[in-house]
Structure 1
Amino acid sequence: MVADSDSRVAWHRAQLKKNRAALKQIETARFTVGESADAKAIERTRRQVSELQLKIRESEQIIGQHDKQVRRPLATDLRSLSNVAWRNWTGNGPR
């Protein structure tokens, strides 16, 4: 993975990885162990899952926005390059 020059984006990439792992752990535990009969425990788990999904969505949006601004197109054929709005892309990244 390429290192990010923007520390905010690097932080969101790390948080995204951490939050996805936590969500996977909760989902795995739910199917491996089963859900508790305690209503409070069920609500707490649902709240944790929704908070993690919200954080994941937020980080994905920030990373996606950064990638749109900074990364150049990877395809090199004439058709895909002709469809790119080059006026929106700068080689130096956001200023």
Structure 2
Amino acid sequence: MADSDSTIAWHRAQLKKHREALRDMEVRRFRFGETADPRVRVETLRIAAGLRRKITASEKVIGAYEKRTRRPLTTDFRSLANVQWGNWNSAPCNGETAQG
């Protein structure tokens, strides 16, 4: 998906990169086992925790962007009746106000 906001595009790329790195670390751990050296184990856990923290941060930024910019995808009456249209803002997320 192409994003007009470069910050969101960057977060999407980082999210993909960090998820792949975390998945590779976990696959290596299950395929080859844990190392006996406690220092290496602690370092691996620290790196994994950092990746999880970065993934969570990017997910929050992307989620906030999508919440501000996406319209409801369904068009049935029940789902549209539950939308708080007064809170919906179609303004770009880079700090500009909507023109109109």
TM-score interval w.r.t. the shorter chain? over 0.9
Unaligned 5+ segments in structure 2 are: none
DSSP-derived class of the 2:25 partner? helix
Look up the SS of the partner of 2:8 in the other structure: helix
* Identity of matched residues, %: 52
Shift of 1:87: 1.9
Number of residue pairs matched? 94
1:64 is matched with: 63
With structure 1 as the length reference, what TM-score do the two structures score? Answer: 0.93
Q: Which residue of 2 aligns with 1:39?
A: 38
Normalization by structure 2: what TM-score? 0.89
Show structure 1 runs of 5+ residues with no match.
none
Distance in 2 separating the partners of 1:93 and 1:80: 24
* Matched residue type, 2:61: I
Residue in structure 2 matched with residue 5 of structure 1 by the alignment = 4
**Displaced runs of 4+ in structure 1, greater than 6 A?**
none
* 1:69-94 Cα deviation digits (max 9, x unpaired): 00000010011001111122234534
Two-structure CA RMSD over aligned residues (Å): 1.1
Contact 2:18/2:51 (<8 A) preserved = yes
